[in-house]
A = this chain, B = another copy of it.
Amino acid sequence: MQFIKDFTGLKAFVKASATINKVRVVAVCPHDDHTREAIEAAIKEGLAEFTLVGIPDKMGSLPSLAAHIIEEADTDHAAYLAVEEVRQGRADVMMKGLINTDNLLRAVLNKEHGLLPAGKVLTHITAAKVPGRHKLVFFSDAAVIPFPKPEQRTAQVAYLAQVCRAFGIEQPRIALIHCTEKISPKFPVTLDYQMLKEQCAQGLFGNAIVDGPMDAKTAVDIHSAQVKGINSPIGGDADALLMPDIEAGNVFYKALTCFAHADIAGMLMGASCPVVLPSRGDSTDSKLCSLAMACATAIALKQ
């Protein structure tokens, strides 16, 4: 497949794929303006078809555009019904509307009736398009896992590789971010990074380049990597950045949006389908991009 280097390309890819096999999204309580607008845009652009779970009267003009409606006034039960759609193979992506994130995740994480297979790790992946940059940058985790354990980092790298491949990057370059290049017990994260590199060498992440520790500039700036004399297969051209913890991930996310005017998409990986959890502050287009990101990933997961 072709390499998707921005959100315009992403939406075009998902739309083109839809002519063969349309992704099915189940939306939980699409009762607020922003969610409704994003869904309406997604339907009109032909990105996906929707099953809406919630109160039809609160969905504006959406019911006439949706493939299915499941009426349910109780939000917690709406989440449960949406999870069931995925479990029964009737939905490929889940999207949050006007329901508390914790309540939605409770349904997703339910051990008996949820979407998280035993041993799987739920983590957040962001895709950012910074004006002037030649491609997207993916990173994890700005939102869910506070201080990842080694096995959680392994899962994060695996998901980053998966999502990069869903975007047509055959050999994803994943940089392990830390404030220096040294591996040292003073910074336990660097020992985890050593482990991740070994796992990559063993083929755990498929055809991928995983290297670090390195700082974010060395990861994405070809010139900087050269000046510092750092000889890494990442070559200052990383596709994805693994963040040391949620504080670094969150600050990176906010710096990109507030200061670098990046367009952003994000979703959860690890459940049996990608889950889109837009924030109140996200623009309609950001929600649409998140939906498209989840759809592209769902398409890759189906293959």
* A binding-site residues for B, Cβ under 8 Å: 130, 133, 142-143, 146, 177-179, 186-187, 189, 215-217, 220-221, 224, 227-228, 243-252, 254-262, 280-281
Nearest CB in chain B to that of A143: its residue:
B179
CB distance from A277 to the nearest CB of B (A): 15
Q: Which residues of B contact A220 (CB under 8 A)?
A: 258-259
CB distance from A270 to the nearest CB of B (A): 19
Given contacts A224-B281, A247-B244, A247-B248, contact A256 B255 (CB under 8 A): yes
Docked CA distance A142–B178 (Å): 11
Q: Which residues of B contact A255 (CB under 8 A)?
A: 216, 251-252, 255-256, 259-260
Most central of A143, A216, A248 by chain B CB within 10 Å: A248
CB distance from A212 to the nearest CB of B (A): 13
Q: Which residues of B contact A133 (CB under 8 A)?
A: 259
Nearest CB in chain B to that of A133: its residue:
B259
**Other contacts beyond A142-B179, A215-B254, A247-B248: 9, CB < 8 A:** A217-B258, A217-B281, A227-B281, A228-B281, A243-B251, A251-B251, A255-B259, A259-B259, A259-B260
